[in-house]
């Protein structure tokens, strides 16, 4: 019989980091690292949270090389 694998892509620590960053965004205190501007985009906030989690050693898949293509 085949072994059932866990479907989790990210660890618990990663989701906690992303949650913290999303709260910062909602309060209006989240700023981007490069330009220092306020982050308004939900996608950008998630990317920042995952990046912080990655630096903290959480289970997060590595970044894609080419980035996501726009349609």
The string of pLDDT tens digits covering residues 2-57 is 676 667 788 899 999 999 999 999 999 999 888 889 999 999 999 999 999 999 98
pTM of the model: 0.73
Structural domain boundaries of the chain? 16-55
List helix spans (H) across the chain.
Answer: 12-27, 42-55
Instruction: Return the ∠ at Cα 36 (arms to 34 and 40), rounded to 5°.
Output: 100
């Amino acid at each position: 019989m085949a072994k059932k694998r866990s479907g989790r892509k990210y660890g618990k620590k990663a989701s906690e980091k992303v949650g913290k960053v999303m709260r910062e965004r909602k309060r209006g205190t989240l700023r981007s690292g490069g330009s220092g501007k306020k982050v308004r985009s939900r996608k950008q906030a998630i990317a920042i949270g995952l990046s912080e989690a990655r630096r903290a050693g959480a289970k997060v898949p590595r970044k894609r090389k080419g980035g996501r293509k726009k349609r």
